[in-house]
Chains A and B, each alone.
Chain A
Amino acid sequence: MSTTPPAEPLTKKALRADHPTWCPACGDFAVLASFFNVVEKLQIPHEKIVCVAGIGCSSRFPYFVNTHGIHFIHGRALPLATGISLSRPDLHVFVFGGDGDGYSIGGNHLTHAARKNVNLSYVIMDNYVYGLTKNQTSPTTPIGRKSKTDPRGAMDRPINPMTQLVATGATFVARTHAAQVKHMNEMFERAILHPGFAVVETLSECTMFYPGAFDSGNPRKGGAFDLVDETTQDLTSTAEALKLAEDNSPGKFGVYYENKLPTKNENEWAWVKDAQSKSPDLSGKDLLRKRFASMR
């Protein structure tokens, strides 16, 4: 039982922790600011927020926010978050990661967390390069771009994150740009409010190793911030979402797909409730005794 008075309204200040160790002007700062904005706006109970991350620059996120956090191993943040979300449906689970963590080493988990429709919000800070390990090719690095592991230029076709995400069966898929904080706020807010697996692909520039990667989506750098027109787009259509995703350079920003389907959390807990209702008067101990009786 709580012995302290009820918590005060949650403020950005209360959410701040250590100063981020990211490089100056890194796109991830905008993601952090946006997270503060949205959580403050939605007034999620402070102790119910969990920030989960794998490995990479963006995955340092849990240290920079004052919430419960867990910093796991490379690529496995999503199954870790699955364990948290399913076992504790009272929590708000946020997963932060980069393109390497999410699309490469953890690629398989993305598909399965999405297909299970685990209730969580996943922000992928995509910078088209491996930053923490200092400039190697990432799964989203465009062909021809030179890195330490592709000194003559990247040879392999990059994945298209949006077709990838839509194809996983995620029930909320959106895309935003770190230079558009207002839009990012909106996408995060909608992702948080979405019941089920919500993923936001965030173009977040690595100013150290890949500056200018997302200028074509940034009006201040001469690009175009072209939005999905939700008055004509059927957000529940995978086919329409894939069509949007085909145009990847810089492509459209906004929600590509949004659909309410039963979550893994609902399905599993419904089973638990049903199983428990079949012997409502038995304690765990008695249930096990009953099981023993059948083994005599």
Chain B
Amino acid sequence: MTSAQASPPEALRNAVIRLAGYSQDGIQSIGAFLAQLAGSTAQDVMTYMTIPSTISGGPSIFQVHLGSGKVLHPGDEADTLVAFYQDSYDNHLKSLREGGICFYDSDQVKELNTDREIIHIGVPFTSAAIEAIGGSAKDRGKNIFVLGMLCAVYKLDKEKLTAIISRKFGGKKEDILRNALLAFDAGYAWPVHDINHMPFAPGENEEANRLSTDGNTMLSLGLIAGGVRFGAGYPITPWSSIMELLRSELPKYGGMFIQAEDELAAVAIAIGAAYSGHLAITGSSGPGLSLKSEAIGYACMAEIPLIVVNIQRGGPSTGLPTSVEQSDLMQAIYGSHGDAPRVVLAPRDVQDCFYTAIEACRIAREYSTPVIILSDQAISSRIEAFPEPDLEKHWMEPTLDLSDRGADFKPYPLGKITRHSPPGARSTEGKYPVVTGLEHDEWGHPSSNPINHESMSAKRREKLIQLANSLPAPDFFGDEQGDLLFVGWGSTYGPIKEATDQLRAAGHKVGSLHLRHIHPLRNGLGDIFHRYTHILVPEMNDPGIYGHGQLATLLRSVTCNPNIRSLNKIQGITFRVKEIVDGALKTLAL
């Protein structure tokens, strides 16, 4: 055992804990418990996990970044590593910072000699947990044992933590909760003599009611708050948890979610429900979105309000199904045949998933158009803590408008936004409308008249221009003009913000724009870009054969600004802050 002592116990502001084991060991639950505790003790938290693309087992990590102040990213390197197996120890020791602590399961792991200054502490997780629970409990409980140990090491609020555990296991069989608490107490009492305990500074988040959960949960709940009551989907990682949640939640709200036989049926069912007058949702991940593309084009043509969620994953085709990328941007904006304008929004973090979903609902209704929500694998599964949304402000009650339509009703009026007459609404003087994907005149009759097609295309385009004119200014922080402007979208928000802070602290004039509205873009971005020497777009996709990532390509085409460059990463994992800082420094040196 390395004998280096940790620094004297002054209050911690941040700690990154990496749990490395196999996916069935319950390391996700340890992380989730820690995250929930952070939320309820006014601390901030962000988690990061890797899931193996296997049915059961396989190496997996769960990383928790706890902070007394704002936490913007899951952490570049770990302060504490908990290794359950030899391979988790071997593979993740390098993620530990110099001077960090490695707790390893001494029943499983053989300690290596390393020339780095690491505090090694062997604890027999497996046998100690078995002993605590008693008898033949096998591996069960060792995750909760570790949780108890971490609770003691970091002087976490034991009372709150055991309350959270009790709530989680309380509904199950009595002995499950008893065993969990026994394992927890054993871990808590385990003598970890060689280090000083490391209490956190009190959390600085003042809002009383804070929630801790993942992005897919908040996206689903946002859809419900936004008035979505019907939907359909087909399972695909990392989208599936949204459909699972909506399938069981929507009936409580008087709606339903259908598991379809395939992606094409899923989008068709959702369009059917939307045509019937309800706000409906479908969703998928990359390859599934491709399969839905024809029907999404139909929804643009027929002007159906529809929400389409895409939780982006890695690579084309089946690619990297459990990894993160931001490479469906072009598919989301342009992916269909013909000119099929639609709206694309991207949430920046877990909390924002909720508000982005509500905004998507509002836009879909107001502009009678499909809206694609581009989330990604990183936001979908990571846990954050944030203030509970104020439903008085954000709740949208769904309505079904079956009022009569009179002689003046035109299904597709030129110069006005389409307002469909759903079935069940009487046409008292005119004809009943046909909703169609064929090019149509104002009455919905098929028409291939050349001028009509041009006018109708303009009508579908114009409403997005109207939307663009009404968009609020995007998130901005940093210097209003200067050396470099970051432009980001989606889950890169946190690392970009942190990188901005670091670069400014080092004396650079740096600003950062984070876009939620990807299509249409807000007007006037070009004017903002002109105030900076360099514009750098960190995005998790490939620079492609023309050398620019997908958002950078779009921004270059919109603003004709040659100073826009992209900083690309496609390793299936999120940006580290350091990578963005280094990229910016390289750009600044140009």
Contacts and interface: CB of A to CB of B under 8 A. Distances in A.
B52 interface: no
B182 interface: no
B445 A18 contact: yes
Contacts of A68: 421-425, 432-434
Interface string B415-456: 000000111111110011111111000000110000000000
Given A70-B434, A80-B269, A80-B271, A91 B423 contact: yes
Contacts of B298: 72-73
A84 B423 contact: yes
Interface of A is mostly: helix
Nearest to B213: A295
Interface string B246-274: 00010111111010111011101111111
B426 A7 contact: yes
Contact of A284 (B253, B256, B424): B253
Interface of A: 1-4, 7, 17-18, 46-50, 52, 62-63, 66-73, 75-76, 78-88, 90-91, 108-109, 111-112, 268-269, 271-272, 274-276, 278-279, 284-285, 287-289, 291-292, 295-296
B388 A71 contact: no
Nearest to B423: A68
A4 B258 CA distance: 36
A76 B425 contact: no
Nearest to B429: A4
B174 to A, nearest CB: 21
B187 to A, nearest CB: 24
Task: Give 5 nearest A-B pairs by CB, closest first.
Answer: A83-B272, A79-B268, A275-B251, A79-B265, A83-B269
B294 interface: yes
Nearest to B294: A73
A84 B277 CA distance: 9
Contacts of A46: 426, 432
Given A50-B423, A83-B276, A276 B252 contact: yes
B269 A88 contact: no
B482 to A, nearest CB: 40
B272 A81 contact: yes
Interface string B393-410: 001010000011000000
Contacts of B428: 4
A69 B36 CA distance: 50
B413 to A, nearest CB: 18
A88 B270 contact: no
B589 interface: no
B151 to A, nearest CB: 19
A295 B432 CA distance: 47
B378 interface: no
A274 B251 CA distance: 8
A155 to B, nearest CB: 28
A228 to B, nearest CB: 30
Contacts of A90: 424
A221 B40 CA distance: 82
A289 B261 CA distance: 33
A268 B268 CA distance: 18
User: Most chain-A CB neighbours within 10 Å: which of B211, B224, B251, B272?
Assistant: B272
25 contacts: A2-B403, A3-B404, A4-B404, A47-B427, A63-B446, A66-B432, A67-B432, A68-B432, A70-B272, A70-B435, A76-B265, A80-B275, A83-B275, A86-B230, A88-B276, A91-B423, A108-B261, A109-B265, A274-B251, A288-B225, A289-B391, A291-B221, A292-B209, A295-B211, A296-B388
Nearest to A278: B252
Contacts of A87: 230, 256, 272-273, 276, 278, 280
* Residue from the set B265, B389, B391, B423 with the largest chain A CB neighbour count within 10 Å: B423
Nearest to A75: B264
B436 A288 contact: no
In this complex, the member of B249, B254, B276, B295 whose beta carbon has the largest number of chain A beta carbons within 10 angstroms is B276
Contacts, number: 193
B39 interface: yes
Identify whether the interface residues of B are mostly helix, strand, loop, or mixed: mixed
Given A79-B265, A79-B266, A284-B224, 8 more contacts: A17-B431, A73-B295, A83-B276, A86-B273, A109-B265, A271-B256, A278-B252, A296-B211
A291 B388 CA distance: 11
Contacts of A52: 272
Contact of A47 (B212, B213, B424): B424
B210 A284 contact: no
Nearest to B222: A288
B410 to A, nearest CB: 15
B332 to A, nearest CB: 19
Contact of A285 (B294, B302, B391): B391
Nearest to B217: A295
B503 interface: no
Contacts of B436: 62, 70-71
B232 interface: yes
A79 to B, nearest CB: 4
A48 B276 contact: no
Contacts of B434: 62-63, 68-71
Contacts of B422: 68, 88
Given A7-B426, A82-B272, A276 B265 contact: no
Nearest to A76: B268
A285 B431 contact: no
A112 B265 contact: yes
Contacts of B389: 292
A84 B269 CA distance: 7
Contacts of B431: 17, 66
Contacts of B256: 86-87, 268-269, 271-272
Contact of B273 (A4, A84, A108, A284): A84
A154 B273 CA distance: 39
Nearest to B298: A73
A245 to B, nearest CB: 23
A66 B164 CA distance: 60
A287 B211 contact: no
A275 to B, nearest CB: 4
Contacts of A79: 232, 260-261, 264-266, 268-269, 272
A260 B258 CA distance: 22
Nearest to A68: B423
B253 A287 contact: yes
Nearest to A7: B426
A95 B397 CA distance: 31
B426 A70 contact: no
A289 B310 CA distance: 26
B258 A86 contact: yes
Contacts of B221: 288, 291-292
A91 B276 CA distance: 9
Contacts of B269: 79-80, 82-83, 86
Contacts of A63: 434, 445-446
Nearest to B282: A83
B426 A4 contact: yes
Contacts of A296: 39-40, 209-212, 388
Given A275-B252, A284-B253, A76 B273 contact: no
A69 B213 contact: no
A295 B212 contact: yes
Contact of A288 (B275, B295, B395, B438): B395
A173 B212 CA distance: 52
Contacts of A111: 261
A224 B230 CA distance: 48
B280 A72 contact: no
